[in-house]
Structure 1
Amino acid sequence: MIKTLAGQVKEFKKDSILTPFFMILEVIMEMIIPLLMSSIIDDGVERGDIHHIYIIGIWMVVAAGIGLFAGVMGGKYGARASTGFAKNLRQAMFENIQTFSFSNIDKFSTPSLVTRMTTDVTNLQNSYQMLLRMCVRAPFSLVCAMIMSFSVNAKLASIYLVAVLILGAFLALIIWRAMGYFTAMFKKYDDLNASVQENVSAIRVVKAYVREKYEKSRFTKASDNVYRMAVKAERIVSFNSPLMMLTVYSCILGISWLGAKMIVQSVLTTGELMMLLAYCMSILMNLMMLSMVFVMLSMSVASAERVSEVLNETPDIVNPDHPLYEVKDGSIVFDHVSFRYNKDGKKNVLNDISFSVKEGETIGIIGGTGSAKSSLVNLISRLYDVSDGRLLVGGKDVREYDIETLRDEVSVVLQKNVLFSGTILDNLRWGDENATEEECKRACRLACADEFIDRMPEGYHTYIEQGGSNVSGGQKQRLCIARALLKKPKILILDDSTSAVDTATDAKIREAFAKEIPNTTKLIIAQRVSSVQNADRIIVMDNGEISGFDSHENLIKTNEIYREVYESQTKGGGDFDENGGE
């Protein structure tokens, strides 16, 4: 974990080295000032030597000035190092997330990833700054002050040693008790973020069903859980300050009482007593500072583990040692393919699937909800890897291809259509960032998206809100299809992506595909028989297995499942789910 996080310091190593250097310089100046103060009292004030007072006073000002400069520079470099460290952490996490396969992403929830990239990284940023500044300054100051105190008077300095040992034991107990609550508190942040994220993303559903009161109570519960954990932790930490003050004042009383006796006995000078009192405050305040650092570090341990989990997560799907960078054609072969989402699971989602598709064929895929239609097509572009068997594209196993090359040749319009904030052209160019406006218009004509775009005042420069909230479901689907077509893929997969489109427009889209992209292999998942009946062949899925694979006419004669659905839909009725299918 430490090695993983330390690797993100990168270009801020210089700042990370200069920060403790200036902290040490500041401490040295702080240790010199009480020594000079003692000299002023003993050799200047008591002897009436005004010249000595001026000279030592000037040196004190110089030491204070150097200490001030060192403190400012330490703060400057510390801030730069910690913010740079946080920036690198977020960048590294985001870049690693981009390499995740779907199976990796399934391990982390969206709110959890948001918490890790915000709250957890902020905790690590604060801890890193404390590590560079306070974790260097406090121990060094503590040791220096202790050495200076013992060099002046070992008997009086032993009071500090006893106080430090007792206080250190109590502070260790406080940190140990508080750490468990802080760890639990950060886990509760995930629930809090989940409540906010789901409420905002589904705000239309919340308002449509008048569930604001429920959402408020849900958020309140999550917020209260964070509050309770925080209060329990802070209640324990709150003992830190009074315990520290008790120790400080006890030490001052003890040193003053014993020191006064020693001055009367001429064993100790007034200047030395003042110096010891100054070192007393330095020792105990630095110990308190160190305790707060440990509290902060204990809080960040949970954050460090959560951030490291994301950074150390390796993608399940990676390039082979010698990948292929060319997909010959759009042919597809499933050779006894089985698939399960959980590698250690016993139940397959797909069982012994075998079929082949020639380049340029149009294949319909139909089946009830939960029959694994989407799981089947997700394997083609290696969004998941097969568990058993082989899947060939262009005559080669998909695991032999460079992932980027394979996915460039396979365009997938997923069930959940996603548009990003930006103009229509910006969204279309996700398919090809170098596409001209004319190429974008052609893709929209094929997807029948030009029909509504041309009616918009700003046309292709119309701004799309986040998530495509200012366009309808059918319009969103057609834009996503056009975006996929811009890739000029060898394989086009439409995963129930015309479900919100009327049947007439659906027919136009299929007709345009047949005429304009005849050499592209097309896989069309649909619930409506009318969407796939003109396909060259149709796969009927049932509970993760292929129930039938033939033309529309033959399936009506030979496949009972397909025939029942066809008859129910042509007679005005239903689809696969009318009887509550899976």
Structure 2
Amino acid sequence: MLLRIMRDYLRPYRGALTVLVLLQLAGTIASLYLPSLNGKIIDDGVAKGDTDYIVSTGGWMLAVSLIQIAATIAATYLGAKAASGFGRDLRAGIFARVGDFSAQEVSRFGAPTLISRNTNDVTQIQTVVFMGAAMMVSAPIMMVGGIIMALREDVGLSWLVAVAVPLLALCVSLVIRRMIPNFRLMQESVDWVNRILREQITGIRVVRAFVREDHEEARFAEANTQYTNTALAVGRLQALVFPIVMLIFNASTVAVLWFGAHRVENGQMQIGALTAFMSYLMQILMSVMMATFMSMMIPRATVSANRIAEVLDTDSTVVQPIQAQAIPEGGTAVEFRDVEFAYPGADVPVLQGISLTAEPGRTTAIIGSTGSGKSTLLSLVPRLYDVTDGAVLLGGVDVRDATLEDVWSHIGLVPQKPYLFTGTVASNLRYGDANATDDDLWEALRIAQAEDFVRAMPEGLESHIAQGGTNVSGGQRQRLAIARALVAKPEVFLFDDSFSALDLSTDARLREALKPVTRHTTVVVVAQRVSTIIDADHIVVLDDGKIVGQGTHDQLLETCPTYVEIVESQRSAEEAAA
């Protein structure tokens, strides 16, 4: 999976990586010649007192060193550029895939793990790409070249290479093998920490309201401790690598000096050749060490790659049609035709046999007890979910046969939980229409009963809005969301319990202001309060996912016991409050 992701997202950087390989090849070859030249200076220059030879050979060494330095700098730059571009493209790919997800896929993964997969997991793979570009090309060349050059210097000591290299590789691989199971635990622990932290930040008011700070601190401490312990377990194993490497390095040096000294004493080897052989052995061991360091990083990157591939390989249940039909402009009606919907794995459908039509110029209201399926029904129109049976038609066209862009261009949705983005009042309203003028925004705010409090803000339309709209009240957030939908001037308005945070007088004024705007549009309102939908042209009563009554307010009072029960319960609550 790691190789597949690297292949797919490194394709634009093949040219840079090719140049990088050539530069590393040049730099590695240059580094392989330095010990040999140094040995010749010792044997042929210093030993014989030949100053000219020392100067000329030293000049060659300086030139070779400069080539090596230049090649290494250029290769590192290209490797960093390729790795950074790879990380950018991979994050963009994940973001685009998540953007295509329906609510079903987002719920299945969860926001915290999607965030950590697009940040921490991508960083793990990006690091491997950079280290691979910096090491994995030069390491094998240096190892093979070092062995060849060491044999050229002296065959008699080659058995030390045959012992030291496999020993180093074996010891380090045994340590790495024990680290692999902890890497998945580390990534899962990151998800856990992110999830709890996100819950605590988002629900800080609830935590404080119920005095649950100690409980939440304990939850976070548990997740944090789990992550810390896993990281420490990995760290302890990593800490073993360096002593093992240094032990083998130093033991190899002592062995070369010990056995090489006997060969020098017997005249079988010169001192310069011994020095060069020792340098080549260090280069060989260094290349093995670089390869083992990469081996330490690859397992964790592989875990991250598998987690990212889960996202990239997940297809949205809401798909674009192969041959799209255009939704006609003007007079767009919404029709539910024998609709059934069930969540994945559910034994019983949430909605069954829903058939109704919301016509232009009329307000269609949907009411019912909590859990009756009101919001789920409304979410089928913009294709947040797709029906499991039946059809939802917009302007006579099945929404599954139209492009998502076409569907959304006809709809103005005000969700049950209005969400505002970091920015200003104006930038949030222009989500409805990026080209809207300030006059358009003020008109939408006036209709949504939000003009007064926006004008009271220090900078009016340019006043700051925090992430999620946390610096405005719930009612203000709802009115800004309604204004955002009004700016879009859609043919279909979907209000999903969008008046629940408003007081009765503001609710009444807003509904009155909406009438001229929605005179020729289709309006579907989901509501909990009867007072919100009492004047609706058509009221649909849901109970346990089924339609149990349809008609006007007066008609339902006579024909629908469920509606009467809802009215009576709210009337009793109002009387009790009075």
Whether the TM-score (by the shorter chain) exceeds 0.5 is yes
Contact kept, 8 Å, 1:178 with 1:234, in 2: the verdict is no
Corresponding residue number in structure 2 for 1:428 = 429
- Give the TM-score taking structure 1 as reference length: 0.95
Cα distance between partner residues in 1 of 2:497 and 2:295: 55
Deviates more, 1:372-381 or 1:544-553: 544-553
Cα distance between partner residues in 1 of 2:227 and 2:18: 36
Corresponding residue number in structure 2 for 1:473 = 474
Cα distance between partner residues in 2 of 1:516 and 1:383: 26
SS of 1:538's partner is: strand
Cα distance between partner residues in 2 of 1:255 and 1:109: 58
1:434 is matched by which residue type in structure 2? N
Cα distance between partner residues in 1 of 2:43 and 2:353: 94
Structure 1 residues 74-103: Cα deviation after superposition (integer angstroms, max 9, x where no partner) = 221111111111111112222222222112
CA displacement at 1:10 relative to structure 2 = 4.7
Cα distance between partner residues in 2 of 1:572 and 1:134: 73
Corresponding residue number in structure 2 for 1:378 = 379
Structure 1 residues 475-502: Cα deviation after superposition (integer angstroms, max 9, x where no partner) = 1111111111121111111111100111
Cα distance between partner residues in 2 of 1:369 and 1:346: 19
Contact kept, 8 Å, 1:365 with 1:373, in 2: the verdict is yes
Cα distance between partner residues in 2 of 1:546 and 1:387: 17
Corresponding residue number in structure 2 for 1:79 = 80
Corresponding residue number in structure 2 for 1:260 = 261
Cα distance between partner residues in 1 of 2:477 and 2:494: 16
Aligned CA RMSD, in angstroms, stands at: 1.8
Task: Tell me if 1:121 matches 2:122.
Answer: yes
Cα distance between partner residues in 1 of 2:91 and 2:575: 49
CA displacement at 1:574 relative to structure 2 = 9.1
Task: Tell me if 1:238 matches 2:239.
Answer: yes
Cα distance between partner residues in 2 of 1:250 and 1:405: 72
Cα distance between partner residues in 2 of 1:158 and 1:102: 64
Task: Tell me if 1:441 matches 2:442.
Answer: yes
Task: Tell me if 1:289 matches 2:290.
Answer: yes
Q: Which runs of 4+ in 1 moved over 4 A?
A: none
Cα distance between partner residues in 2 of 1:52 and 1:456: 83
2:432 is matched by which residue type in structure 1? G
Identity %: 36
In structure 2, do the counterparts of structure 1 residues 339 and 462 end up closer, same or farther at CA, with 3 Å as the change threshold?
same
Corresponding residue number in structure 2 for 1:138 = 139
Structure 1 residues 206-239: Cα deviation after superposition (integer angstroms, max 9, x where no partner) = 2333332222222221111111111111212222
Name stretches of at least 5 consecutive residues in structure 2 with no aligned partner.
none
Contact kept, 8 Å, 1:138 with 1:287, in 2: the verdict is yes
Contact kept, 8 Å, 2:325 with 2:397, in 1: the verdict is no
Residues 208-219 of structure 1: matches in 2 within 5 Å? 208-219=209-220
Contact kept, 8 Å, 1:327 with 1:409, in 2: the verdict is no
Contact kept, 8 Å, 1:468 with 1:476, in 2: the verdict is yes
Contact kept, 8 Å, 1:431 with 1:487, in 2: the verdict is yes
- Give the TM-score taking structure 2 as reference length: 0.96
CA displacement at 1:62 relative to structure 2 = 0.9
CA displacement at 1:435 relative to structure 2 = 0.9
CA displacement at 1:153 relative to structure 2 = 2.3
1:53 is matched by which residue type in structure 2? I
Contact kept, 8 Å, 2:358 with 2:523, in 1: the verdict is no
1:529 is matched by which residue type in structure 2? V
Cα distance between partner residues in 2 of 1:421 and 1:238: 44
Corresponding residue number in structure 2 for 1:340 = 342
Cα distance between partner residues in 1 of 2:533 and 2:56: 97
Contact kept, 8 Å, 2:24 with 2:138, in 1: the verdict is yes
Contact kept, 8 Å, 1:27 with 1:140, in 2: the verdict is yes
Structure 1 residues 383-431: Cα deviation after superposition (integer angstroms, max 9, x where no partner) = 1110011111111111111111111111111111111122212111111
SS of 2:534's partner is: coil
Corresponding residue number in structure 2 for 1:270 = 271
Residues 170-249 of structure 1: matches in 2 within 5 Å? 170-249=171-250
CA displacement at 1:34 relative to structure 2 = 0.7
Structure 1 residues 502-553: Cα deviation after superposition (integer angstroms, max 9, x where no partner) = 1122122222222332111111111111111111111111111111111111
Cα distance between partner residues in 1 of 2:284 and 2:517: 81
Cα distance between partner residues in 2 of 1:284 and 1:269: 23
Cα distance between partner residues in 1 of 2:244 and 2:573: 80
Deviates more, 1:268-277 or 1:93-102: 93-102
Task: Tell me if 1:357 matches 2:374.
Answer: no
CA displacement at 1:279 relative to structure 2 = 0.8
CA displacement at 1:457 relative to structure 2 = 4.1
Cα distance between partner residues in 2 of 1:10 and 1:110: 29
2:568 is matched by which residue type in structure 1? E
1:380 is matched by which residue type in structure 2? V
Deviates more, 1:148-157 or 1:407-416: 148-157
SS of 2:357's partner is: strand
Corresponding residue number in structure 2 for 1:460 = 461
SS of 1:389's partner is: strand
Cα distance between partner residues in 2 of 1:423 and 1:256: 72
Cα distance between partner residues in 1 of 2:507 and 2:176: 65
